[in-house]
Structure formats: C-alpha cells, structure tokens
Chains A and B, each alone.
Chain A
Amino acid sequence: MTLANDEVGGSTQPMLAVRGLVKHFPLKKDLLGRSAGVVRAVDGVSFDVFKGETLGVVGESGCGKSTTARLLMQLISHDQGELVFDGQTVGSNSLPLKDYRRQAQMVFQDSYASLNPRLTMEDSIAFAPMVHGLPEREAIERARDLLERVGLAPQRFAERYPHELSGGQRQRVNIARALALQSRLIILDEAVSALDKSVEAQVLNLLLDLKEAFGLTYIFISHDLNVVRYMSDRVMVMYLGQVVEVGDSETLFKHAAHPYTQALLSSIPTLDPDRRTETPPLAGDPPNPINPPSGCRFHTRCVHAQAICSEKMPVLAPAQHGQQVACWMHVAGAAHTGAPDAQGMVKPLEVAA
C-alpha cells in the first residue's frame, strides 16, 4: 500500500470531497418511547477541500462546525453521506479507517484537555506513530524532532507534563502530535480560540510555517472572522447545520453574497468612527436546531426574507463573484424580488453593507 502524495489524481482532484453529510442526534425518549425529536446538527453538508489550501469554516456556536469536524475525523459516524479522500471512499476496502487516520489529524480547542495528564509531552506525541507500528526509539526521536519544529526545545519540554506548560505551549504540542503521523490534512477546530491574542499570533504564524514546510492542507474552523481571513484561501460559512456560502477568501470578505455572511461581517467590531453600525445586522433569536425553520433556515432573521424563503430551501449555486451561495436572491428566475431575472440581470437592491 503506497502512501498517497499530492500527485494522486492530479492537482484538480480535491483532497477531500464531502457529499451530503448528515448527522442527527436523537433526544432522550420519554417513558412511552416517544422521542422528543432530533438535533439536526449537520443537515446535508457538501464541500471540497483542495490540495494545499486552507479552507476556513465560520459560523455561530451551534451551526455544526465542530460536529462536522468530528464527522470528518470519523470520531462520530455520519447518518448519511460520504467522504472521499484522494478519490477513495473513506472506510471502504481501498481506504480502511486506520489508513485514513494516518492522512487526516485534528487539533482540538482545549489544549489542556487534549493531553493525557499522566504522559510526558514526548510520550503523547509518540503514541500515534507507535500505534501504527513505529518502534519506540524512532517514535521518541520523531517526537523530539517535532517538538523542535514547533518551537519547543526538546531538552526543556520533552519530559514535561501538561500542567507545567502554558496554553500556547500545550497547543504547540498538540500541533506536533497532529503532525506525528506525517498526515497531509490537518483539521484545526478552534485551535487558537482559547489563547491570548499575542500567543495566538505566534501560533498562527507557526501554522503557516509548518504548512509550507510540510506541504499541508488545513481546515481551519473558527468563530473569529479576522483570524479566518488571515489564514484562509477559501472560506465556508455555515448556518444551522448547512453551508450557506463558500468561496475565495478575499472575495467573500469584500463581496459577501448571503445575507447571513453580510450580517456576520458587519458585526466585526471596528474602531473606525466612520463605519459605525447603525442598524443591528441580525433580527430575531437564533432558532432551534431541533425544529429548524422551514425552507431557508435563515429566513426568520433575514431582512430580505420573502414568501419563497419560507417555502423552499435554496441550494448552493454560483453567485456573482465566483462564490457559491444558498439564497433565493442569487438564483436566476427565482420568485424573489431581489433575484436576477431569467437573463441574469441583477436588479439593484438595497444590500446592507
């Protein structure tokens, strides 16, 4: 079994193709066996991750980002959908789960909880390689080398315990651990969210360095839009278990198409007195993932909502500047006054800045 490399399938084949991922969590049943419903954590998510890019994933708490991350790592199994890595279905005979796990690894948010309090740093890092057959000597060597790479001197840190390190140092160890299997895809689930700003900057730069040095591909999940902008080549916006917009990073930030994305962007606090936020970007309360709104899930909070929005769910379709949007206003001929007509002519409409 040869290790896949970046030439597999050519540069246009996505490293990871996600199709129709669904995960519902059942709620406790009552005495008579009637279920109180399901939490639709991830409800039909499809996207591609291309070799060598950083895909940012943003959204509010509860939008399904972390669940998606865990589904991608197969830490929980999906109800429907499939994952295709380098053209092979994950979990099939050609790509068993254990082999997939060598290719994709994850860095978690809580740096302390991610490390076994009883293991030294080098032991934590060396665990995964040893599981995959590397002899202990070499695994420890690799662990020490990785510690060096993430900027922690092995003499000082290799035989320490988690409680002796700071948050930033622990997260570096977690990154080293994620690299221990020489994986090509690294999922970073709010990896820097719990760090102080100054430390965060250092770790982000470390991530960029490592990406170049090892030719990595990142999925960068965060709620912090500025950080996502800094790190990502493309960005995906999630809302209530679905993807609402995905596109090139700069394009998205300058020409956000989906009303939700626009609302998110306008909520970034700014110190510029000329760009005060006059009206609140979002109306209404965040809805319930147990009982999501009908049709477009955002329609209850959308300032542009119309009848069609509560009736039919929009799917991802190409929009004006090259991104994909799930919104009736960008579907030619849709029954929405803001939609382009059948010839693709866009009618001018007040779009909140």
Chain B
Amino acid sequence: MLGFLLRRLIYSLPIMLGVALVCFGLVHLAPGDPLMSILPPDASADLQAQLIELYGFNRSYPEQFVTWVWRALQGDLGTSIASNRPVASEVMTAVGNTLRLAMLATLIGFVLGCLFGFVAGYFQNSWLDKFASLLSVLGVSVPHYWLGMVLVIVFSSILMWLPPGGAGPGGSSQWIWDWEHFKHMLLPAITMSVIPMGIISRTVRALVADILAQEFIVGLRAKGLTNVGIFWHVVKNAAPTALAVMGLQLGYLLGGSILIETVFSWPGTGFLLNSAIFQRDLPLLQGTILVLAMFFVVLNLIVDVIQTLLDPRIARS
C-alpha cells in the first residue's frame, strides 16, 4: 500500500514538471515581446534595461524557467503588473473564493446527481428513468454561462429574489458566513452545479444498472436480503467510482470557473484570469494558471489514492 502511494506520488512529479513547463511556455507563445506589455509607453532606455534585468528577459529560456520554478516553490510568483501586488496573495484570495463556490456547486451537483442516477438505475426503462436521463442530458448540454444569464434574468431581474452578481453586498469581497453573503453564492453555485449534476447522474445510473445486473445481487436476494440491504450493497459498490467522479468534477470546476465568474462578477480565480488576459498581465496570468493546474494535478492524485483505498480490487492489481 505504501509502495503504491509512493509510486503514484513519484509518477506525478514528471507530470507536474511538464505542467510547469507548459505554463511557462504559454506566456512565451504570445505574439509580441513580453517586455512591451510591462513597459509604460514613454519608458526611457534606462527603465527598459532595469525591467529587463528584473524580469530576467535577457537570460536564456532554461535559466528563466528554472528561476521561475525555484521562486514559485518558495511562494513567490512575481508581482502583478496591473495591481502591483504580489501575484501569490492575489491568487490565493481568489482561490479561496472560487473554492467556496466550487465546493458548494459540487455538493449540490453530487447530491442531485446521485439522486437522479440512483432513481434512473433502479427503475431502469421506466418513465422515471427516462425523465432522470433527460435531466442529465440537459445538464450536460447546457451552456452554463448562458444558464447563468437566464437565472439572473429570472431571479434577479424579474423576481428580484437574489442579487445578480458580486460576492457580497455592495460588491465587497470580504467573506462572512451569513445569509446576505450566501445569497450571492446561490445563483452561481446552482449554475455551476448543473454540469457535474449531469455527469454524476449519468455515471451513477450506469454504475447502478451495472451492479444490479450482476449475479451476486441475485445471490443476495436468494439469501433473503431485503431491498434495503441490497440498496446498501449497491451503494458500497458504486461509492468509489461516484466519489472519484465527484472529485474530478470539483477539479474541473476549479479550473473552468472563468465563464461563470465572468457572468456573476464573482471575484475568484476565473475572474482574475480574465483580467490578466485582457490586461496582458503576464506574471498574474502565469501564476494563476500554474496554481490552478497544480491544484488539479494534486486533486487527481488524491482522488486516485482515495479510490484505491476504497476499492480493494484496484489495490490488489
């Protein structure tokens, strides 16, 4: 077991290195001299030289990469050009906001998804199944940014029950766990939960249908196990994969939150990414992508490990 964990960990390292390489290389894909985006328009030659030295543009790419990675490992992701604040702190604040949103969304999506999936799988081919399956297809197909807009139209504009955007009353970004703030989280979370709901629902339905079709269920029934007991067995067998999918969905939401955060003006990593792109704030862009990608890799690792711990069959292979 420990050997497996160690192996899995070591296996992630080259991936992480590759991810860092891609993040680093992305910025240099950009057409145009990265220096230009940093310079104020009327910079003197002296200032140019200073900035080149500071950002290291006069060194070779491998050198720049190593320096960047080394600094990143120590928590220094550079300074944002636009706001002049350290990238690391900006990203971490934003990550906190996005995490809150993503976790709520994943929770909603997981609960609803399991519900629909179980119902569909248990009552295969009944109208319940078709209805639940329809909902999951809809969930997976909907362009979530559009859904966000529609929800804003319905619940903010027309019904005026919930605020249309921002993370707190008056656009504040200090988080407090009260209803006022929670209201702001509701619409974006629901919007975000739709795709995970669809995917988890489909996965669970397939799992449940698969498990119920297996012969050991027939054996259990013949033994006299009640329906509740059988339900428990199904849950136990479906749990590892369902949880794994949920973990992955959380990762996708973390990385892919930009669209919804744009619609709802939610001050999370997506929003940060958006401004970084349009202001060509390269340090911020690099830092945000790196942090998000690493989160995803680590999350995948954790999901893998938990799935192995829960499912004895994988550990033995």
Contacts and interface: CB of A to CB of B under 8 A. Distances in A.
Interface string B1-42: 001001100100000000000000000000000000000000
A31 B309 CA distance: 19
- The SS class assigned to the B binding surface is helix
Contacts of B6: 31
B83 to A, nearest CB: 45
Size bin of chain B's contact surface: under 10
B162 to A, nearest CB: 53
B315 to A, nearest CB: 15
Interface in A19-54: 30-31
A85 B10 CA distance: 48
- The SS class assigned to the A binding surface is loop
A270 B247 CA distance: 60
Contacts of B3: 30-31
A30 B3 CA distance: 8
A53 B3 CA distance: 53
A8 B183 CA distance: 92
Nearest to B3: A31
B97 to A, nearest CB: 40
A107 B3 CA distance: 42
Interface string B289-306: 000000000000000000
Interface string B161-185: 0000000000000000000000000
A30 B7 CA distance: 9
Contacts of A30: 3
A31 B3 CA distance: 7
A36 to B, nearest CB: 12
Nearest to A32: B3
A95 B7 CA distance: 45
Interface string A54-86: 000000000000000000000000000000000
B86 to A, nearest CB: 38
B1 to A, nearest CB: 12
Nearest to B10: A31
B148 to A, nearest CB: 46
Contacts of B7: 31
A30 B1 CA distance: 12
Nearest to B2: A31
Interface string A258-273: 0000000000000000
Contacts of A31: 3, 6-7, 10
Nearest to B7: A31
B289 to A, nearest CB: 32
B3 to A, nearest CB: 5
Interface string B110-134: 0000000000000000000000000
A30 B10 CA distance: 13
Contacts of B10: 31
Q: Which 5 A-B pairs have the closest CB atoms?
A: A31-B3, A31-B7, A31-B6, A30-B3, A31-B10
5 contacts: A30-B3, A31-B3, A31-B6, A31-B7, A31-B10
